[in-house]
Structure 1
């Protein structure tokens, strides 16, 4: 699909380290997901001064993050619900509604990253949201969109994907894509002095923004 041509595969290989780090952001490790020393930052870039990235968070506050010298940058590429088929490995944030899980977003992982962050755990995108990384086992069409079974080691979750749900996959980017106004998602390490640092960021590009 998105990375089907040899040229695209070369580009994917170039960005693979950044994508692997993104996969680790979505990992089910209890220590990663629950300890306060890691902070997910979502918002729009205000500016980059040397290695200091300032982001206007969704809460309206300015957050400054020190970026690593060997910063890895990735982006998201628009995909579609038709790309979500049995056997595909995805990550989906979902929220409860009417007794079922409804997708807030879906990230389709390239085949080379099958298994990244596999599992099911709480997420902080919306209240009571979850993040599930796993393989699509089945899909059943419904009034609100297809309901897919996302299977992971030790369990599964059924998630309904509405027609307006953002569906993306991963693509390459570089530091030149870090500019004011760009939507960004990153996970920063919170140090003892309260400062934040990150060695990987995911940026919006060509009108597609990180929905995670």
Structure 2
């Protein structure tokens, strides 16, 4: 009985440490599993699949299901970032604890809450940076934007330089998926290696999604 109680105590302690690590927002538990989208261009489309050439030149066949969500990406501007906007930003951590934005995407009101949180994210150059999705709080307009992004139980200060691309995200249908469209693909792979799209962000009118 004493030995069983000791084992139970050790297990509880381990769970508490894991919980505290996750609550801290540190990357320790998730660093080996960053959000890792596939970026490329659609070559062809069928009712149930798309063929994609990645930016690295790899050809992929990706299955579409009724659950696949399509989001349109259109050009935005710095003034689209407003207090209470729900945004996402891929960014690089700075020495002073702030984040320097690589891009900002502003969600349509109907997409508020999408992917809310702070996570490791694989940028287009293959480096692991960060992705923060949340609500804009304080915003200072001076040489770009400096803003706080609030999510769940935390917030980050993000510096958005003037030359950072800003895009708008809104729900779309599959008519946006056509040859030549630039996409950011979020897919799952089964045991047989089949790729199935969970979500596709597709550029409209030739826009290349910057995230």
Partner of 1:108: 106
In structure 2, the residue corresponding to 1:206 is in which secondary structure? coil
Question: Retained in 1: the 8 A contact 2:41–2:180?
Answer: yes
Distance between the aligned counterparts of 1:134 and 1:154, measured in 2?
A: 11
The answer to whether structure 1 residue 141 and structure 2 residue 138 are counterparts is no
Partner of 2:181: 182
Partner of 1:150: 149
Deviations 1:56-92 (A, max 9, x none): 1122211221112564433112221112122211111
Equivalent residue pairs, number: 181
Which 5+ residue runs of structure 2 have no aligned equivalent? 1-27
Q: RMSD across aligned C-alpha pairs, in angstroms?
A: 2.7
Quick check: which has more Rg, 1 or 2?
Answer: 2
TM-score normalised by structure 2 residue count: 0.74
Matches within 5 A, 1:22-171: 40-49=37-46, 51-69=48-66, 71-96=68-93, 99=96, 100-125=98-123, 126=125, 127-143=127-143, 145-171=144-170
Deviations 1:79-123 (A, max 9, x none): 211121222111111123565421111111222332222211100
Distance between the aligned counterparts of 1:211 and 1:60, measured in 2?
A: 18
Which 5+ residue runs of structure 1 have no aligned equivalent? 1-29
Partner of 1:205: 204
Question: Retained in 2: the 8 A contact 1:75–1:210?
Answer: no
In structure 2, the residue corresponding to 1:209 is in which secondary structure? coil
How far apart are 1:52 and its partner, in Å? Answer: 3.1
Question: Retained in 2: the 8 A contact 1:183–1:203?
Answer: yes
Distance between the aligned counterparts of 1:117 and 1:75, measured in 2?
A: 16
Closer/same/farther in 2, CA of residues 39 and 105 from structure 1, 3 Å limit? closer
Deviations 1:124-143 (A, max 9, x none): 11413101011111122344
How far apart are 1:210 and its partner, in Å? Answer: 2.1
